[in-house]
Structure 1
Amino acid sequence: MSGMGLSLVDQLKTRMQWLQTRQKVLAENVANADTPNFRPKDLKPFELSAGGGGVRLEATSPGHLGGAAGGSAPGSRGAAKFETRPSGNAVSLEDEMTRLADTQMDYQTVASLYSKSLGMIKIAIGKKA
């Protein structure tokens, strides 16, 4: 499809695939909530690309983008978990269920946008939606 100039549809499709993979990783975290020494995993945040290449912000000073404040990146897992059990397991079911719900809502939103985009393409080529 990318040869037809449908980059929005391709981006939505890629986002849905990323969300499916994240759902699987988070479900594995929940499934291993009682496994000794298990550390929860997550995917790197999804980044949209524009025109085939990623769009990046460039900092001209170390303090410009807030990275100097010491905050963690969105989606990253903190190294020091206060809920690590004596068995070494660091899974917080509350955190995992929140991430699962967020992922599900994001997937439903992207799937709706994908469906509407395909409907607009059908209308543009003369087929009824």
Structure 2
Amino acid sequence: MIFTVTPIFALPVAVIYMALWIRVTSKRSALAQSIGDGGNTDLLLRIRQHGNCAEWSCFLLILMILSEGMGVPSLYLHIGGTLLVLGRIAHPFGLKKDNAAHVLRYVGNGSNMLATLIFIILIAVNLLRL
């Protein structure tokens, strides 16, 4: 099977992931901090922005490719993929050390939770048809 929809969303997510990784690496280099955050809150913030992207992106892309492999209509894949990308763009800007209630943090987490629910429902519906 050739997957045609999931790669459309995997590519921008991979670019975002790499950009966040570069931010962590450059800060580690500037601080000569090999492991951990060394008590530096800016490095900790960058580590969490990158980590959150890794956690959500892998999980959602797995659900998305499973959905695509099960033959879910592409409209639903595009909706879930769009929510994933929007969430990955919004979340790093909303994750602030001095504001846990930043609107972009809610947008990032909310859109990824919604995408997760969409893919869970799509997979469950397709499993019930088997």
Provide TM-score, normalisation by structure 2: 0.38
Larger Rg: 1
Provide TM-score, normalisation by structure 1: 0.38
